[in-house]
Amino acid sequence: MSYQIRQLEKSAKPSFVTLMTKAFEHDPLFDYLFANSAYNRRAKEEFVSFIFDKSSILSGEEVWGIFKNDILCGAYVVEKRHHVKSWKGKFRNISELMRLTRRMLRFSFRLPFRILLRVNNYMRLTRLPAPATAYYYLIMIGVDANIQGKGVGNRLLHHLFAAMHADEKSRGIALDTENRKNIHLYKKWGFTLNRETNIGNLKVYCMTYTKEDNGS
Sheet arrangement for strand 172-177: 4-7, 61-68, 71-80, 135-143, 172-177, 202-210, 192-199
The string of pLDDT tens digits covering residues 122-148 is 887 777 766 767 899 999 999 998 888
Report the percentage of the chain scoring pLDDT > 90.
Answer: 49
Q: What is the pTM of this model?
A: 0.87
Q: Which is nearest to 151 in space by CA: 36, 73, 48?
A: 73
Architecture of domain 4-214: 3-Layer(aba) Sandwich (3.40)
Q: Is 77 helix (H, G, I), strand (E, B) or coil?
A: strand
Residue 85 has pLDDT above 90, yes or no: no
**Looking at residue 71, what is its pLDDT?**
95
Quick one: which H or E segment has residue 142? strand 135-143
Q: Compute the distance between CA of residue 160 and CA of residue 167 in angstroms, rounded to an integer.
A: 11
Q: Compute the distance between CA of residue 8 and CA of residue 17 in angstroms, rounded to an integer.
A: 12
Q: What is the mean pLDDT of the segment spanning 96-111?
A: 75
Of the given ranges (49-53, 114-118, 134-138, 189-193), which has the lowest mean pLDDT? 114-118
Determine contact, residues 19/144, Cβ cutoff 8 Å.
yes
**Looking at residue 134, what is its pLDDT?**
84
**Looking at residue 119, what is its pLDDT?**
82
